[in-house]
Amino acid sequence: MLQAINEQGKCIIPAIMSANEIKQFKKTFEMFFCPVCKEQVRLRLGTKRIPHFSHISRADCPNHVGGEGIDHEQGKLQLFNWLKKQGYVVDLEVYLKPIKQRADLLMNYGSRMVAIEYQCAKITTQEIIKRTKGYQSVGITPIWILGSSQMNRQGKAILKLTSTLQHYLHQYPSNDFARLLFYCPHTHNIAFFDLVSFVTSYRALGEFCFLKLSQLQFSHLFKQGVIDPIPNQWLIEKKKFRLSSPKIGYSSEQAFYQWLYLNQLHPSQLSSWVGLPVSGQWLIKGSVWEWQARLCYDFFNKQVNFTDQELAHFAKPYFQSSRDYPLILKDVNPIRTYLNYFIMSDLITCNGNYYKLTKQIGRYKCVEQSLYNDQRLHIKLKRDMRSQM
């Protein structure tokens, strides 16, 4: 831990002190104590790690967190200093007894209390949800900032986003897109990743932004700029899908390709309306290609006239009923977002709670025709969305 209390009960953070001040502590042989369990702790000094304290004999203290590495200590301290310079009332390593959790940073932000967790180590999905809901249960807004080692970038606009990392996604009611935050204590860069959609179960398409910590205000963590909901990178990912060979590694993929075969379909022939980017894809099982293909060919084409209730009933088996995303504070419905594409283009008309498909969703004869129509639809949807802004 980075702080302790001395014999006079004063909080001491040696990492923000000068070398001379730290030497004075060594000369006086002053004793230090854990602010939670009040047991004695030892001041640790060295060349590889920043000055910190460790328990001498009591490892079961609720304030004791094992496995904190150098990056975690440095990043936590840098974020602490960053907030202090902006004039915020912020405390380091605060143990919250009602929920038995220790926040890396706890601060006042207007009328709210905010806990910042700088998470460098990998933890389970269950732990993320438990700790997030713990803060929320006592009226504290949690913000997770991930260590840069957890950012697996796979291209200019692509991030590998495992099912565990998806639970760090923040989305506030005022934001259109969910966001991940990363921080590197060596470069002092904060990385923003605003998620547009998934192109596979773990391959996420979005927009990256890298800024120096010194260039940011705390409020910037919540603000979003103008983000393209149908970026050009989507066409590249769609082309990869159309030209890829069937993958037989997972049962869900096997079932999808079997469904394509039984319906005399192939990825290269699917309508351009299959695979459009939508927010909230994390709520749905399987890939965006699978559920949109089934919706187009098994529901829209066969149902033609339908209601909200009938659409919801068809889509229900595809939703991840057991998933819990306590950091997603905006009401997100990927099926509704997808339906709105059709309504915007008059391919589906809407009259109250009743909908009608105006033209059957077809298939293409060759991949050249598919790629050409992908580009045309991409341009059309961009134009239509601009006209509605």
pLDDT tens profile 147-205? 999 999 999 999 999 999 999 999 999 899 999 999 999 999 999 999 999 988 889 99
Same domain, 346 and 206: no
Q: Which residues of 326-355 are buried (b: 16+ CB within 10 A; e: fewer)?
A: bbbeeebbbbbbbbebbeeeeebeeeeeeb
Same domain, 48 and 83: no
Rounded Cα distance between 185 and 61, Å, is: 27
Same domain, 267 and 358: yes
- The arithmetic mean of pLDDT across residues 324-345, rounded, is 93
Q: Which residues contact 365 (CB under 8 A, 6 or more apart)?
A: 269
- The arithmetic mean of pLDDT across residues 210-221, rounded, is 95
Q: Is the pLDDT reported for residue 379 higher than 90? A: yes
Same domain, 189 and 113: yes
Q: Is the pLDDT reported for residue 138 higher than 70? A: yes
- The arithmetic mean of pLDDT across residues 132-156, rounded, is 96
Same domain, 240 and 335: yes
Q: Is the pLDDT reported for residue 249 higher than 90? A: no
Any domain includes 256: yes
Same domain, 256 and 291: yes
Give the model's confidence band at 52: pLDDT under 50 very low, under 70 low, under 90 confident, else very high: confident
The phi, psi pair for 41, rounded to 5°, reads: -125, 160
Tell me if 142 sits within 8 A of 131, measured CB to CB.
yes
Q: Which domain holds residue 273?
A: 233-387
Same domain, 297 and 326: yes
Any domain includes 197: yes
Q: Is the pLDDT reported for residue 372 higher than 90? A: yes
Same domain, 176 and 285: no
Any domain includes 228: no
Any domain includes 226: no
Q: Which residue has the higher pLDDT, 59 or 327?
A: 327
Query: 61-87, pLDDT tens digit by residue?
Result: 776 665 568 899 999 999 999 999 999
How many residues appear in the chain? 389
Structure confidence at residue 135 (pLDDT): 98
Rounded Cα distance between 299 and 313, Å, is: 11
% residues pLDDT > 70 (the chain): 93
- Please choose, from the candidates 154, 142, 145, 149, the residue with its C-alpha nearest in 3D space to the C-alpha of residue 180: 145
Q: How many domains does the chain have?
A: 3
Q: Which of 68-77, 205-214, 242-251 has the highest mean pLDDT?
A: 205-214
Rounded Cα distance between 9 and 28, Å, is: 16
Any domain includes 227: no
Rounded Cα distance between 290 and 262, Å, is: 14
Same domain, 238 and 328: yes
Q: Write the CATH number for 156.
A: 3.40.1350.10
Same domain, 208 and 339: no
Same domain, 163 and 302: no
Q: Considering 64, 85, 107, which residue would you say is the last residue of a domain? A: 64
- Please choose, from the candidates 164, 161, 132, 163, the residue with its C-alpha nearest in 3D space to the C-alpha of residue 326: 132
Q: Is the pLDDT reported for residue 22 higher than 80? A: no
Where is 252: in which H helix or E strand?
Answer: helix 251-262
Any domain includes 36: yes
Same domain, 193 and 245: no
Q: Which residue has the higher pLDDT, 318 or 116?
A: 116
SS3 for 154-171, per residue?
A: EECCEEECCCCHHHHCEE
Q: Which of 6-15, 210-219, 222-231 has the highest mean pLDDT?
A: 210-219
Place of tokens 């700790």: 131
Structure confidence at residue 6 (pLDDT): 79
Q: Which residue has the higher pLDDT, 232 or 387?
A: 232
Q: What is the pTM (predicted TM-score) of this model?
A: 0.87
